[in-house]
Structure 1
Amino acid sequence: MFRTALRNVLAHKARLMMTVLAVMLGVSFVSGTLVFTDTIGSALRKASARSYSDVAVAVTYGDVDHPLPQRLVDEIGRLPGAESTTATVSGFTAIADKEGRLVGDGWSTRGGNYTGTGRYPMLEGRAPHGSSEVALDSRTAERTGYTVGDTLRMSIDGPVMRQKVTGVFSTDDGNVAAGGSLVLFETATAQKLFGKPGSYEEIDVKAAPGTAQATLKAGIEKLLPRYAKDASATTGQNLADEEARRIASDLSSFNTALLSFAGIALFVGIFIIANTFTMLVAQRTKELALLRAVGASRRQVTRSVLVEALVVGVVAGATGFLLGIGIAAVMRAVLASAGALLPDGALAVQPGTAGAALAVGVGVTVLAAWLPARRAAKIPPVAAMSSVHAPATVKGLLLRNTLGALLSAAGAVLVVAGSGMKDNGNMVLGGGAGLLLIGVFVLTPLLSRPVVAAAAPLLRPFGVTGNLARQNSVRNPRRTAATASALMIGLTLITALTVVAISVKTTVDELAAAHLKADYQITMATGQNLSPEVAEKVAGADGVSDSSAVRDAHTELDGEDEWVTGVDAPQIGRLLALDFSHGSLAAVHGESMVVDSDTAERRGWHAGQSLPVRYDDGTKGRLTIGGVFEGGDLINGVIMDNATVTPHTPKAGDMRILVKTAGGASEAHQDSLVKALGENPVIKIQDKAAISRELSSTIDLMLNILYGLLAMAVLVAVLGVINTLAMSVFERKHEIGMLRAIGLDRAAVKRMIRLESLVISFFGAVLGLGLGVFLAWAVGGLIRPDLPSYAMVLPWDRIGVFLAIAALVGVLAALWPARRAARLNVLEAIKAE
């Protein structure tokens, strides 16, 4: 039986090719994802290990207001077993390249103090001295073209600084290895810039030869209560281990996201595999029945079909693994060319990845072939007298339809229930969506007839060929259903994601237009807070009529921690338009504040209520709620007057600055703001249109990435349509031969197969679009608590594109089967059984 199975694989290799391709694509995505994340993780871990190679113990402060004093550094340096100490202070430091563009992605652009050639070996020039000099890491110098003696523009929290480059150094810093930048100042300058004069945020201690890290750590911990009670000491080994865990955790979500799309492609592939083996079993009814008649047991027949699936799985898994290595290399190159910050290092191909690829390939193929294998074993020997096996019984179809209806109803109920839940709603909705998809798949044979019948008017102009195509597409409802379901799943996900994304974008656009009366919004490109100095420069810029810093500050309000938003009370009414249920923005002054309705409900507050407040500097007072408004993404929470909160919050940072200009937004006004802020590359000046464009570009980028990932599932679905049509043509050789004999020409045969493919694709598209819109509506229920004005918007233009893509899938999938059908020899086809 084993030899028989191998001969069958070789005999039907052309028909199994699409199955191999479907599994291979899914496996390649899995192995490519694993190789890509292993490569990035390995490079980051190596860089991290190098960073901690000379660190026996690291001391860090636990309270930002109480950094590590110089006296502690000196005491640690005198401890037995401490060979040397390196004290550091660092913070965000953005630099501009020679064209004025921000270098790196912002978050990994760092600055710190120069601690000597031990950690930062100088490749060119010398160490920085004085407040106007810096040293630059060699990677950043290479990609920006800066050399010793150049002047670069940089920013810590908004104001532009111009510094002279006195040296270029090398470093093993993980952020730099990942594409970030590092700028070093002399220690005193760094301490002043990063808000820690005379103090540090970390002390790295190198152990003398023969001193254990634990011993040195114990000695350091005895000193900490005297100098920095909130500080903690950690061994270098623990730091390296923690960094490795952090890297693994950071890559885990990315890995899971990519693998989920690979899983979707493999899930779609299951339909193709099951369809293929079902058709092969049906075509070999006589052969399998004869095997039973000459003594083969049911178990042997089942094993024979599963061995065929095993061979297909091994071939698909092995080729998918090799293709995955190439995909990982391409992913890395594409992301790097798109500006993503990726560390250097060779591709990391782990033995486990190869094992996973083979396991996935074999597992998916054998699992999908199991039901056809069981069906093959049930063929009675008497069936050898007939070339066609018995069709599905009425009882079998009734059971299938009942099961499908129950699963679909349960899934729909869970989706609706999850949509309205506040806690764990996404999990309930996700589970319901899975049940719904499975239920609809089970029901697709029943649904195929009415949906295909609805397409009859579109086929009528094609005459006989259109009528034949419609009848052929419903001749075997199970096969049509399995083929269309593959396309349905891909379009369901694509439609749901598109509707949700477009709805969010439209809603936020409308909010920005409705709530923002200001002409411009000024923010840091990296999301950091702006220095108060920026607001002062903006207020003095030409053409500015009103401006307000939107400032965050910490307080203890009514006995609980509460971050409040400070605004410049005299101007804010001319910059914002908020919907108030009680009061207005005029209530923001002195000891009066306004709160959004969600905060008021959560804290049990109401308009007119007086609340105790304790500011960060310890000052106490009382605040009165002067109004309640509907919050949004632009502004929410507690709003106070900057004149009230800022004197008690010396480290308050500006989240944004709202600006109104005389005569409205114009290119001249924007140029005036740019010049007033020193042409700073890290500061964004956006009008309402720019805010909308940024939101649109972010959502469109996300959608395009998701489209690219889901394209794998659609491609697998195309292979499924090709496979089904090709095997259907093989089954209908006799019928096609008869049609040719009575006058149907080759062009009409091709048209018939193409129309059949279009009908199957149309069926899958209708189901996918309907389910996608339903799931998008349900997801809207989860979004609405965070975005109260969310309303579902149907992007009819994109839905039309999706229908056109489905039609294109049908046309392309039919090319080879239609050509094959048209080239059949009429006499040989008539003689075929």
Structure 2
Amino acid sequence: MLRTALRNVLAHKARLLMTVLAVMLGVAFVSGTLVFTATVSDAYTRSAEKGYDHLDVQLRPDSGGAEGRPGEAPALTGKLLEQAAALPGTERAVGSVSGFAALADKQGRLVGKGWSTTGANYYGTDDARYPMKEGRAPRGAGEIALDARSAERAGYRVGDTARLSVAGPVREERVTGIFTTDDGNVAAGGTLVLFDTATAQELFARKGEFSSVELTARPGTSQAELKKQAAAILPAEAKAVTADKLAADQAADIEAGMSGMRTGMLAFAGIALFVGVFLIVNTFTMLVAQRTKELALLRAVGASRRQVTRSVLIEAATVGAVAALVGLGAGIGIGAGLRSLLSSIGSTVPDGPLVVTPATVLTSLLVGVVVTVGAAWLPARRAAKIPPVAAMSSVHAVATTRTLVVRNTIGSLLAGAGAALVLAAITMSDGRAAMGGGAALLLVGVFVLTPLLSRPVIALAGPILRPFGVSGRLARQNAVRNPRRTAATASALMIGLTLVTGLTVIGTSMASAIDTMATSAMKADYQVSMANGPLSPEVGEKLSALPEVTAVTPLRNAPVRIHGDDEFLTAVNGKDAPQLLDLDFTAGSFADLSGRHAIVDEETAREKGWKLGERIPVTWQDSAKGEIEISGVYQGNEMVRGLMLDTAAVDAHLDRPLDMLVFVKTKDGVSEAGKDRLAAALGDNPAIRVMDKQDVSEEIAGFFTMMLNVLYGLLGMAVVVAVLGVINTLAMSVFERSQEIGMLRAIGLDRRGVKRMVRLESLTISLFGGVLGIGLGVFLGWAAGELIATGLSTYSLVLPWDRLGVFLALAALVGVIAALWPARRAARLNVLASIKSE
């Protein structure tokens, strides 16, 4: 039986090729995901470890203002640095200061895209953290040093003048040196700009203070021992952390970030494999049908049912193993390709080897074999149950009315329960789990019901197929001749289009909701922000001094403590805010926003139990205590919510005031020229963005479009597998109807008519799956949107009719492409040989 199974594998290479392709694609996605995430995670982890090679213990704040909380931050002063350097286990102590610093290249474009653009200090004359490759370290104001990677990307050399920004307008600094570094942010594509210590303290901290103090241990002193010594000199609410702990924490953060990406990508691989199951079932059903007499003969000469089942499963295991090995190789290539792709789009990954773990190899092989064997089990079981005499006479057991009734009953119950659970989830406070479970039940229920649905739905295609004459009528009849197989084929496409449609409906509706939320509260002409960083108050001051500007307000975060809880309030220009922000007040108004009077959004007031006129005790960032009085209640949104106070009442308590956004109104309103004038007033800073409402809308839409395109690419694999499934079904249909096709040719249907018949059958099956998928996707997208709307007041259903039309056209294209080979094969059948076939 083993030899028979292996011989059958080699005897049906063309049939099994599609199964190998389907399994290979799924396995390649799985292994590629595991290789890519393991490689990136390992590269970042190695980079992080190198980044801590220069220190053994780090002293840093544990709480306070340094983390945006009220109260004085622990001061890491020059005196503490001297005490740390004097510890018996310390060989070297370095004071570090760092913060956001955006670097522009010679063409004025932002380098590093703002996500990891950092500024720091060069400490002393022999700073081992940053060895100079060219030139010298910065020694005073107006001088900087650049990391070698950033200098190369930006085109700077020693002696050039570089443009950069630290939370405010552009600064022009002379490049005095270029250094090398193992800093993980630089290795990942970020930038690092070094200042002398005094300048860095002025920009990022306070005079004479540091963000952290880094200690190197003497030979023979362990990190734990040096940490214990440092604990004795630490100020309150500061802590000492070993380099090993810092590296381990960073590695854990990297792993957590990779885990989310890995889970998401594996979910799409699972979808592709699930769709591939339908193809595998159809393939082995066809192979068993072709070998019915052979299997019956084996039974007649003494093979048991178990042996017949086992022979088919051995065949499946062999195919699965081959597909898994090929998929593993392809996956390794995909992992390497994804890493290169990140580099090509500007997201540099640190250098490191391609990581292929034993777990990746084992997982890929298991996935390929288990999926293939599991999908082949049902056809194998059916083959073993065919009585030898009936099989040798080609009398196959067809599905009985009873089995169809049972199937339709089960499908109706599953679909009904799924739909009910989805609708119930809408009314729950946290219905995500119920929504997911209901959607899964509904999909399974519709899949079980698909044979029942195929006849009435495909019947609707009758008027469309009628103009094609005999070929059209035959195509419709052939599509419903074997409803189980048609259902399995259409379901593969249905699942892919359900997910694509549902995600598109949710994504389009979310983009519209966030656009409404972001722009409805904005009466200002322009919104000014920094690329991934805060804005200095100097930005607002410069803009308010322009003659064409009529109103300016920042959105400034201010940490406070209320009744023992850490909170953030937003400071605005109370005089100009009414002209720039559009808020609906349920009590009070903007006119009351002055002095210690504050306004609060309705939801926060309800949660805290605050009422109009209530006085609330607060502790400011500088530990000063005071009171604020609620003088207005407004309806908040995702952009503006919480406590809001006038900047004049807040700024005196802030160590370093920084703004999230600045809103601006001008005499002439919105125009490209006005936008350019504001940008020019800020030195054409590449890190500062000046946007009107239209720009904000386009940015939001662009983000969601990019996310949907990524999802389309990931789900594209499931569509490719669905195409293979349609090809497989048509090939089976042509095989089973060889005699019928021969008779049709004999009575006058030409080759062109045969090709048209097969193509129209393929088109009908594909559109059947497309209609079901789009319908289910719209329903699930609507239901998920209703759940989202409970937490996002601006959410409303938006049906992207243009994209839905594209999806339906895509389903039709799948049918056309899938029919190319089977139609050609059917047209080339020999008439006499086909008529004589059984």
Q: Give, in whole Å, the separation in 2 of the partners of 1:105 and 1:668.
A: 25
Q: Deviations over 1:276-300 (max 9, x none)?
A: 1122223322222221121111111
Name 1:705's counterpart in structure 2.
710
For structure 2, the residue ranges without an aligned partner over 5 or more in a row are 67-72
Three-state SS of the structure 1 residue aligned to 2:576 is: helix
- Name the stretch that deviates more: 281-290 or 2-11: 281-290
Q: Distance in 1 between matches of 2:713 and 2:249?
A: 34
Match of 1:319 among 326, 340, 348: 326
- CA deviations over 1:769-809 (Å, ceiling 9, x no partner): 11111111111123213320211011111110110111000
SS in 2 for 1:340: coil
Question: Within 2, Cα distance between the matches of 1:714 and 1:586?
Answer: 58
Identity across the alignment (%)? 59
- Tell me how far apart the structure 1 counterparts of residues 156 and 688 of structure 2 sit (CA, whole Å): 22
Structure 1 position 96 matched with structure 2 position 96: no
**Structure-2 separation of matches of 1:739 and 1:67:** 92
Structure 1 residues 190-212: Cα deviation after superposition (integer angstroms, max 9, x where no partner): 11211132122222222222222
What is the SS of the residue equivalent to 1:788?
Answer: coil
Counterpart-to-counterpart distance in 1, 2:614 and 2:212: 45
Give, as a single letter, the amino acid of the residue that structure 1 aligns with 2:703: T
Match of 1:21 in 2: 21
Q: Which residue of 2 aligns with 1:172?
A: 182
Contact 2:555–2:661, Cα closer than 8 Å, also in 1: yes
SS at match of 2:598: strand
Give the 3-state SS of the residue equivalent to 1:309 in structure 2: helix
Give the equivalent residue in structure 2 for 1:275. Answer: 282
Query: CA shift at 1:630, angstroms?
Result: 2.1
SS in 1 for 2:556: strand
Alignment of 1:367-378 (within 5 A): 367-378=374-385
Contact 1:158 1:682 in 2 (8 A): no
Note closer, same or farther for the CA distance 1:495–1:95 as it changes in structure 2 (3 Å cut).
same
TM-score by length of 2: 0.96
| TM superposition shift of 1:616 | 2.8
2:237 is aligned with 1:230:
yes
Q: Residues 15 and 727 of structure 1 are in contact (CA less than 8 Å); yes or no, is this contact kept in structure 2? A: no
Paired residue secondary structure (1:577): coil
Counterpart residue number, 1:805: 810
Contact conserved, 1:553 with 1:565, CA < 8 A, in 2? yes
Q: Which is further off, 611-620 or 341-350?
A: 611-620
The root-mean-square deviation of aligned C-alpha atoms, in Å, is 1.7
How far apart, CA to CA, are the structure 1 residues paired with 2:631 and 2:649? Answer: 15
Deviations 1:301-337 (A, max 9, x none): 1111101110110111011111112212222222222
- Alignment check: 8 A CA contact 2:44 2:349 kept: no
Cα distance, 1:559 vs. partner?
Answer: 5.9
Gaps of 5+ in 1: none
Q: Does 1:421 align with 2:428?
A: yes
| Counterpart for residue 390 of structure 1 | 397
Following superposition, the deviation at residue 89 of structure 1 comes to 1.4
Say if 2:9 is the partner of 1:9: yes
Aligned to 2:312: 305
Maintained 8 Å contact 1:105/1:341: no
Name the SS for the 2:697 alignment partner: helix
Per-residue CA distance 1:649-704 (angstroms, 9 max, x = gap): 34332111111111211122112111111111111100111111111111111111
The match for 1:74 among 66, 72, 82 is: 82
Aligned residue identity for 1:798: R
- Contact 1:555–1:615 (Cα < 8 Å) also in 2: yes
Q: Does 1:796 align with 2:804?
A: no
Q: 1:433 aligns with which of 436, 439, 452?
A: 439
State the alpha-carbon separation in 2 of the partners of residues 352 and 746 from structure 1: 52
Say which is worse superposed, 574-583 or 792-801, in terms of deviation: 574-583
| Shift in CA distance, 173/428, structure 1 to aligned 2, threshold 3 Å | same
1:669 to 660, 666, 674: 674
What is the one-letter code of the residue matched to 1:276? T
Alignment of 1:503-542 (within 5 A): 503-526=509-532, 528-542=533-547
Q: Is 1:730 aligned with 2:738?
A: no
1:721 correspondence with 2:712: no
1:194-273 correspondence to structure 2 within 5 Å:
194-224=204-234, 228-273=235-280
| Per-residue Cα deviation, 1:84-126 (whole angstroms, up to 9, x for no partner) | 2222111111111111111103131111111334221111001
Match of 1:815 in 2: 820
- How far, CA to CA, are the matches of 1:73 and 1:606 in structure 2? 49
Farther off after superposition, 139-148 or 287-296: 287-296
For the pair 1:467 / 2:477, whether they are aligned, the reply is: no
What letter corresponds to residue 333 of structure 1 in structure 2?
Answer: S
Moved more, 699-708 or 51-60: 51-60
Q: Are the counterparts in 2 of residues 522 and 656 from structure 1 also a CA contact under 8 Å?
A: yes
State how far apart, in whole Å, the 2-side matches of 1:500 and 1:127 are. 53
Find the residue that maps to 1:449 and give its secondary structure: helix
Q: Residues 196 and 380 from structure 1, CA distance in 2 versus in 1: closer, same or farther, beyond 3 angstroms? A: farther
For residues 272 and 704 of structure 2, what CA distance do their matches in structure 1 show?
23
SS at match of 1:574: helix
CA 1:256–1:113 in 2, change beyond 3 Å: closer, same or farther?
same
Shift of 1:827: 0.6
DSSP-derived class of the 1:522 partner: strand
**Mapped contact 1:491–1:769 kept (Cα < 8 A):** yes
Identify the range of structure 1 (578-587 vs 366-375) with the bigger mean alpha-carbon deviation: 578-587
Check the 8 A contact 2:524/2:581 in 1, yes or no: yes
CA distance in 2, matches of 1:601, 1:15: 66
Q: Deviations over 1:532-562 (max 9, x none)?
A: 1111001112411111112121223466433
What is the DSSP-based 3-state SS (H/G/I as helix, E as strand, rest coil) of the residue aligned with 2:528? strand
Q: 1:56 to 1:420 in 2, by over 3 A?
A: same
CA distance in 2, matches of 1:456, 1:222: 87
Alignment counterpart, residue 662 of structure 2, candidates 657, 666, 674: 657
Q: 2:453 aligns with which of 442, 447, 453?
A: 447
Question: Is the CA contact (8 Å cut-off) linking 2:570 and 2:644 kept in structure 1?
Answer: yes
| One-letter identity of the residue aligned with 2:809 | A
User: 1:93 is aligned with what amino acid?
Assistant: A
CA distance in 1, matches of 2:391, 2:803: 52
Q: What are the Cα deviations for residues 574-596 of structure 1, in whole angstroms up to 9, with x where unaligned?
A: 11222233333333233333222
One-letter amino acid of the structure 1 residue matched with residue 511 of structure 2: K
User: In the alignment, is the contact (CA less than 8 A) between 1:542 and 1:669 conserved in 2?
Assistant: no
Alpha-carbon distance in structure 1 between the residues aligned to 2:400 and 2:798: 44
SS of match in other structure, 1:439: helix
Relative to structure 1, the CA distance from residue 215 to residue 624 in structure 2 (aligned partners, 3 Å threshold; closer, same or farther) is: closer
CA offsets 1:243-280 (integer angstroms, 9 cap, x no match): 22222112111111111111111111111111211222
Change (3 A) 1:559 1:118: closer
1:405 equivalent in structure 2:
412
Could you tell me how far 1:512 is from its partner in structure 2?
4.2
Cα distance change on mapping 1:654 and 1:352 into 2, 3 Å: same
Deviations 1:490-517 (A, max 9, x none): 1011101111111122233334443321
Moved more, 113-122 or 27-36: 113-122
SS in 2 for 1:223: coil
In structure 2, give the amino acid aligned to 1:145: G
Show the 5 A alignment for 1:23-38: 23-38=23-38
Q: Which amino acid aligns with 2:168?
A: G
Q: What residue is the counterpart of 2:194 in the other structure?
A: 184
For 2:556, the equivalent position in structure 1 comes to 551
Q: Distance in 2 between matches of 1:336 and 1:119?
A: 26
State the alpha-carbon separation in 1 of the partners of residues 370 and 770 from structure 2. 29
Listed one character per residue, the Cα deviations across residues 436-461 of structure 1 (whole Å, up to 9, x for unaligned) are 11111111111111111111111111
User: Is the 8 Å Cα contact of residues 119 and 171 (structure 1) preserved in structure 2?
Assistant: yes
Match of 2:91, SS state, is strand
What is the SS of the residue equivalent to 1:84? strand
* Per-residue CA distance 1:430-482 (angstroms, 9 max, x = gap): 12211211111111111111111111111111121111111111111110111
1:679-694 matched pairs, under 5 angstroms: 679-694=684-699
Tell me the matched-pair count: 828
| Alignment of 1:340 onto 2:347 | yes
CA contact (8 A) 1:136 1:165 kept: yes
TM-superposed CA distance for 1:619, in Å, is: 4.1
Partner of 2:48: 48
